[in-house]
Structure 1
C-alpha cells in the first residue's frame, strides 16, 4: 500500500509517498518539482507511479507556490521567477541532508525531475550537486541566460516597463550563469539524463533544449544508454501520458537499488 504523508521538512511543505512497509528503510529517492503557478499536489500521479516501483518520492512546494503562496498574481510571480528557481535548487540540498541524517538514502540513488519550471530547476541543480544520480527534465530548459534574455526581449516587445535597471539585469544574468548547464555541460559527467519536450511548446523554448541535447551527445559516446531526448511532434506545454511513463521507466532503469 502506498502512503501519502503531508509534512514540513526543513520548513518546506512536502508530500512524501512511499510503500508503507518500506517507509523506514533506505530507498532510492526521487525529488519531483512542480511547474510555475502549480503546486505539489498537481504531480501526485508521477509520484504514485514511482512509489509503486519502490521509490521514496518527495514533492515540495516551491517558494510562493502551494502552501507557500502569498497571494501574488501571475504577473507578480513572473518578476521573481528566477528567484524561485534558484531558491528551489538551494532547498534540494536541505531536503537531501534531512533524509541523509535519517539514514534513508542509498548510494547513487537520488533522482531529480520536474515539469516546466521544475524541469528548469532540475537542470540547474545538476550544475550544483554531484550527488544527483539521474535526472529527468519535462519541458525544462538548461540555457538559463539565453532563456532569461528571451523573456526580457519578449517583455520589452510588449511595451512592458522592466522593474530592473540595466545594472540589475546584468547582475541577474551573471548569477544565472553559475546555474546554466549549457555553459558548463562537463558538470553532467556522464550522469543519466532524460528530456521530454513538445515541439509546439510556446512557453519554454523547445529549440534551446534540443540544441543543448545535440551539443552534449559526443560526451555520451559509448554511454548512449545514459542520455535520451523524447520529442513529441503534437504536444504543446503539457506532458503526454507517454512522457509520464517514460520518466518512471527512466528512474526504474537508472535508480533501482
Structure 2
C-alpha cells in the first residue's frame, strides 16, 4: 500500500509518497519539482509510480505556488520566474538534507526531476550539487541565459511591460550564468541524465534541450549516460510515455531501486523457466 504524508521541511510544504511498509526505512529518494503555476499535488501520479518502484518520492511546492500562493497573477509570477527557479534550486538541497539527516534517504541514491519549470530547476541544480545521482528533465531547458532572452522577447511581443530597465534585465540575465548548464556541460560529470520533450512545445522550446543533448553526445564520443525521448506531435504537456520514461530511468540508475528491479526481473525469469 502506498501512503501520502504531508510534511513541512523548513517551512517548505511537501508531499511524501512511499510504500507504507517502508515508511521508516532508508530508501532511494526522488525529489520531483512541479511546473510554473502548478502545485505539488498535480504530480501525485508520478510520485505513486516511483513509490511502487521502491522510492521515497517527495513533491515540494515552489515559492509562490500551491500552499505558498500569495495571490500573484500569472504576469506578476512571470516577472519573478527566474527568482523562483534559483530559490527552488537552493530549496531542493534543503529537502535532501532533511531526509538524509532523518535516516530516510542515503547519499548516492538520490534523483532529481521536474516538469517544465521543474525541469529547468533540475538542470540548474546539476551545476550546484554532486549529490544528484540521476536526473530527468521533462520539458526543461539547460540554457538559462538564452531562454531568459527568448522569454523577454515573447513577453514584449504580447505587450507585457517588464518592471525592469534594460540595464537591470541585462544584469539579471547575466546573474543566471552560474546556474546555466549549457555554459558548463562538464558539471553533468557522467551522471545519468534523461530528457523528455515535445517538438511542438511553444512554452519551453525543444531546441535548447536537444542542442545541449547533441553537444554532450559529441563531446563524450557517445559515451555519456544520457538519453532523449522526443515526441514530434507533443506540445507542452508530458505524455504517458514521458512519465514512464522518467520512472524507468530512476529505477535503472539509482542504487537499491536498480538492484531491486534486477532481482524482480531475475525472479520472473526463474518463474517462467
In the alignment, structure 1 segments of 5+ residues that lack a partner are none
Tell whether the 8 Å contact from 1:122 to 1:137 is kept in structure 2 after alignment: yes
In the aligned structure 2, how far is the partner of 1:167 from the partner of 1:239?
36
Change (3 A) 1:217 1:19: same
- Per the TM alignment, residue 162 of structure 1 is displaced from its structure 2 partner at its CA by 2.2
In the aligned structure 2, how far is the partner of 1:56 from the partner of 1:133?
15
Q: How does 1:154-233 map to 2 (within 5 A)?
A: 154-221=154-221, 223-224=223-224, 226-233=225-232
Partner of 1:145: 145
Tell whether the 8 Å contact from 2:217 to 2:223 is kept in structure 1 after alignment: no
Q: Which has the larger radius of gyration?
A: 2
Q: How does 1:1-257 map to 2 (within 5 A)?
A: 1-221=1-221, 223-224=223-224, 226-257=225-256
1:176-201 per-residue CA deviation (whole Å, 9 max, x = no partner) reads 11100000000000100000000100
In the aligned structure 1, how far is the partner of 2:45 from the partner of 2:38?
14
SS at match of 2:230: strand
- Per the TM alignment, residue 140 of structure 1 is displaced from its structure 2 partner at its CA by 0.4
Tell whether the 8 Å contact from 2:28 to 2:106 is kept in structure 1 after alignment: yes
Return structure 1 stretches of 4+ with deviation > 3 angstroms: 219-224
In the aligned structure 2, how far is the partner of 1:245 from the partner of 1:256?
19
Tell whether the 8 Å contact from 2:89 to 2:124 is kept in structure 1 after alignment: yes
Partner of 2:259: none
1:90-115 per-residue CA deviation (whole Å, 9 max, x = no partner) reads 00111111112112222410100000
1:107-142 per-residue CA deviation (whole Å, 9 max, x = no partner) reads 410100000000000000000001100000000000
Q: Which moved more, 1:247-256 or 1:163-172?
A: 163-172
In the aligned structure 1, how far is the partner of 2:21 from the partner of 2:129?
30
In the aligned structure 2, how far is the partner of 1:159 from the partner of 1:42?
30
Question: Considering only aligned residues, what root-mean-square deviation do their CA atoms show, in Å?
Answer: 1.1
In the alignment, structure 2 segments of 5+ residues that lack a partner are 257-273
